[in-house]
């Protein structure tokens, strides 16, 4: 009898150990295309028939909307939705619209990356039964058209670790010109004199970058150092203030001097003008 009991318990252990682990811990994984805070909706790209699951912010010249197919979902955010940071397991709190509008609190830099649509990798578990679906008959590329996408209630959203490549690639989300655009990014410490100066002289900075017709598209904006460092930038860019010029997902210039940066942009404009004649 003892031998039979031993064999019985061993069989339970053996069979239990051979059972397949739960491979469907998350219902889908993809890239964030931005959080619509008014609708409490996070749009997530899975794959399409243009780039597969290698997300790009712009399409190539022979892109055909008639043949376009994409898999994407919208995650409805509730008060019960959990946001988890993958690298630490920390649960992040999404502030309410009232808290944001009244200035009571600010977005965590990791949640801010979702709000700004940086293409951050996320894993999503939903409340409903999930059914994969390919979308056709679209009116535009998925980056620019979030209509008529299946909606699920988000139970848990895990945010992957960010890297510097994520920071560089995010600039193309709001650009139709992709590789032809240049982005001047001013990075300052929160509450610093440089941050206040940029806000005070924003129009002057814009005027400095005014360009003649047929020039490359030049965009400029400012972010704070806390948000920037969530992308784990190289040490050579971790001094503030710093100005980065990004083109084709690469830093082509960095400086702490605005006039020097404007001169660098002027040289790009001059070279472009020469090519057009």
- pLDDT tens digits for range 102-138: 554 556 677 777 766 667 889 999 999 999 999 999 9
CA dihedral 55, 39, 133, 142 (to 10 degrees): -30
Structure tokens at 112: 């801010």
pLDDT of 273: 55
pTM over the 0.75 mark: no
Q: What is the pLDDT of residues 189-229, one digit of tens each?
A: 988 998 898 888 887 887 887 655 556 788 888 888 988 98
pLDDT of 221: 85
**3-class DSSP assignment, residue 164:** helix
State how beta strands 82-85 and 151-159 pair.
parallel
For the chain, list residues with pLDDT below 50.
2-24, 104, 277
CA-CA distance, 209 to 220, in Å (whole number)? 8
CA-CA distance, 231 to 118, in Å (whole number)? 11
Structure tokens at 261: 């940066």
Cα–Cα distance list, 44 to 51, 118, 228 (Å):
15, 11, 22
**CB-based contact 186:241 (threshold 8 Å):** yes
Domain borders along the chain are: 28-162, 178-275
**Which CATH fold would you assign to the domain 178-275?**
Glutaredoxin (3.40.30)
Count CB atoms within 10 A of the CB of residue 163: 11
pLDDT of 269: 77
């Amino acid at each position: 009898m003892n031998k039979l009991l031993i064999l019985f318990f061993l069989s339970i252990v053996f069979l239990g150990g051979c059972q397949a682990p739960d491979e469907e811990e998350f219902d889908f994984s993809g890239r964030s295309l931005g959080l619509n805070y008014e609708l409490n909706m996070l749009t997530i790209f899975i794959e399409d028939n243009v780039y597969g699951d290698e997300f790009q912010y712009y399409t190539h010249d022979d892109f055909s909307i008639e043949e376009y197919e994409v898999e994407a979902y919208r995650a409805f955010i509730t008060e019960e939705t959990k946001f988890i940071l993958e690298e630490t397991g920390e649960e992040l709190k999404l502030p309410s619209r009232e808290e944001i509008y009244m200035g009571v609190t600010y977005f965590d830099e990791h949640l801010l990356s979702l709000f700004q649509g940086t293409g951050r990798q996320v894993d999503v578990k939903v409340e409903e039964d999930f059914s994969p679906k390919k979308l056709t008959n679209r009116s535009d590329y998925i980056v620019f058209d979030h209509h008529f996408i299946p909606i699920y209630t988000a139970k848990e959203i895990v945010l992957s670790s960010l890297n510097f490549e994520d920071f560089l690639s995010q600039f193309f989300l709001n650009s139709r010109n992709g590789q032809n655009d240049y982005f001047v990014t001013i990075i300052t410490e929160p509450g610093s004199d440089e941050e206040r100066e940029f806000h005070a002289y924003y129009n002057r900075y814009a005027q400095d970058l005014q360009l003649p017709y047929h020039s490359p598209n030049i965009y400029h904006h400012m972010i704070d150092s806390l948000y920037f460092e969530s992308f784990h930038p190289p040490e050579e860019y971790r001094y503030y203030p710093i100005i980065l010029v990004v083109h084709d997902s690469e830093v082509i210039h960095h400086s702490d001097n605005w006039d020097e940066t404007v001169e660098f942009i002027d040289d790009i404009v001059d070279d472009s003008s020469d090519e057009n004649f």
